[in-house]
Amino acid sequence: MKLKVLGSSSRGNCYLLESDDSVLAIEAGIPFREVKQALGWDISRLSACIVSHRHGDHAAHVKDFVSAGVTVFALPDVFTHAGMKNRVCCKEVWPGKGYRIGRWSIIPINVVHDVPCVGYIIEHPEMGRTVFVTDTMMLEYRIPRVSHYMVECNYADDVLQRNIDNGSVLPMMRERLHGTHMELETTKGIIAGADRSCLENVVLIHLSDGNSDEKRFVAEIEAVCGVPTYAADKGMEIDFSLLPF
Ligand SMILES: [Zn+2]
Ligand SMILES: [Zn+2]
């Protein structure tokens, strides 16, 4: 099992979880052509795509996935905004309900953003349990036996303040970011309070271009969790195989 990062920023998000026999895409925020290329032009390997919310950097290309015959799992809000209600390949999800896609299972969980948004608990026998959480100010749940976290670490308050002070970021952004995206200390709190008995690695996602500090974020989170920690970058591949504990 491998995680491939095809995009992880406000310019476009998409990740592939690749098992031996199938691939699950997370987010449809990059052109489908790039996804096809990453799959070696064999889209029959793609089981489905799961989407967190309607914003363009996560859902701008949902239509292209559906047109290619890929089943997309997302909140009804995502399909309404894409103008594609009731299509066969559009599967509406409800937070807290479980869905099976071949050997994958997913459970959407509510998070806190400025539009309806979900994270996902994703399971596969070769991977164990992955928690995917992005575009949220916090995570309310403590999920047991997580092997892999893909968790937003968007900005640090002090970096943001420095940017506001030097005029490169508008002061109004402070309030917007506080209510919609995950700050370093919040991410740290989630990892510090998590059940880490099965934890193998942590992938920090959706880092802000200007208000983050990749090396520092990785070092600070790694110090808390004690397992290899990465900041997701386009083109990165990370082993997500389940280790026998
Ligand atoms: Zn986003
Ligand atoms: Zn968003």
Angle, vertex CA 123, rays to CA 145 and CA 154, nearest 5: 75
Residue range 144-157: average pLDDT? 97
Looking at the chain, the whole-number percentage of residues with pLDDT higher than 70 is 100
Q: What is the dihedral of CA 103, 30, 5, 115, to 10 degrees?
A: -80
135 C-alpha to center of ligand 2: Å? Answer: 5
Domain 2-239 has CATH 3.60.15.10: yes
Amino acid at 72: V
Confidence check: pLDDT of 244 > 80: no
**Residue 215: which pLDDT band, with cuts at 50, 70 and 90?**
very high
Confidence check: pLDDT of 99 > 80: yes
5 C-alpha to center of ligand 1: Å? Answer: 15
Count of CB atoms within 10 A of residue 67's CB?
Answer: 13
Element (H, E) at 38: helix 32-38
Angle between helices 214-225 and 184-193 (to 10 degrees): 20
Condensed to tens digits (0 to 9), the pLDDT of residues 151-196 reads 999 999 999 999 999 999 999 999 999 999 999 999 999 999 999 9
How would you classify the pairing of strands 118-124 and 201-205?
unpaired
pLDDT of residue 227: 97
The residues, ordered by sequence, that sit 6+ positions from 83 with a Cβ below 8 Å of its Cβ are none
What Rg do the C-alpha atoms of the chain give, in angstroms? 17
Confidence check: pLDDT of 245 > 70: no
171 C-alpha to center of ligand 2: Å? Answer: 19
175 C-alpha to center of ligand 1: Å? Answer: 16
The ligand whose atoms approach the alpha carbon of 10 most closely is 1
Residue 25 bridge partners (DSSP): 16, 49
The answer to whether the beta carbons of residues 89 and 70 sit under 8 Å apart is yes
95 C-alpha to center of ligand 2: Å? Answer: 17
180 C-alpha to center of ligand 2: Å? Answer: 7
The answer to whether the beta carbons of residues 205 and 238 sit under 8 Å apart is no
CA-CA distance, 211 to 13, in Å (whole number)? 18
The ligand whose atoms approach the alpha carbon of 205 most closely is 1
CA-CA distance, 74 to 13, in Å (whole number)? 15
Residue range 134-162: average pLDDT? 96
Give the environment of ion ligand 1: residues with CB less than 5 A.
57, 135
For 45, which DSSP code?
G
Residue range 86-100: average pLDDT? 94
Confidence check: pLDDT of 87 > 90: no
User: What is the residue-averaged pLDDT of the chain?
Assistant: 96
244 C-alpha to center of ligand 1: Å? Answer: 34
pTM of the model: 0.97
Confidence check: pLDDT of 85 > 90: no
How would you classify the pairing of strands 148-152 and 201-205?
parallel
Report residue 214 as tokens. 């990749």
Condensed to tens digits (0 to 9), the pLDDT of residues 24-77 reads 999 999 999 999 999 999 999 999 999 999 999 999 999 999 999 999 999 999
For 242, which DSSP code?
P
Residues in the chain: 245
Closest to 63 (Cα-Cα) out of 19, 149, 148, 74: 74
